[in-house]
């Protein structure tokens, strides 16, 4: 069963299925943030008005608003040039990080 809400910023429909992937409390017990794969639920536990107790932000709005500080931000994958890739390969053919004998291979020309 999913619960349907709308993003408070762009009005996109959000259907939350199950528990949050991660939750964190703010400065005190009265405020919590619940991170779901599609968006965030902001909970003000001290607000007695149930219509104002929860606010919702979709993933896209959070990324737009917070950029690299967003919970959803992922570092872009760096494309390596051929020279950079070749510099990471040991003379035995393994990646230097994976070769236990890389130092000996490179210094002895193996």
Q: If you write DSSP's letter for every residue of the chain in order, what string do you get?
A: -EEEEE-TTT--EEEEESS-SEEEE-SSTTEEEEE-SSEEEEEETT---HHHHEEEEEHHHHHHHHGGGSTT--PPPPPPPHHHHHHTB-TTSSBTTT-TTHHHHHHHT-
The ranges assigned to domains in the chain are 2-69, 78-110
pLDDT per residue as tens digits for the range 68-80: 889 888 877 777 7
pLDDT given at position 26: 66
Cα angle 82, 86, 90 (rounded to 5 degrees) comes to: 165
pLDDT per residue over 28-56, tens digit each?
778 899 999 999 999 998 888 877 889 99
């Amino acid at each position: 069963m999913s619960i349907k809400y709308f993003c408070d910023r762009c009005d996109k429909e959000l259907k939350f299925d199950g528990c949050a992937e991660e939750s964190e409390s703010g400065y005190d017990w009265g405020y919590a943030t619940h991170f779901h794969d599609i968006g965030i639920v902001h909970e003000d536990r001290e607000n007695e008005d149930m219509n104002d107790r929860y606010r919702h932000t979709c993933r896209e709005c959070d990324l737009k608003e917070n950029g690299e500080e967003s919970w959803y931000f992922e570092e872009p994958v760096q494309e390596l040039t051929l020279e950079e890739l070749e510099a990471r390969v040991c003379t035995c053919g393994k990646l230097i990080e994976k070769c236990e004998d890389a130092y000996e291979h490179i210094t002895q020309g193996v």
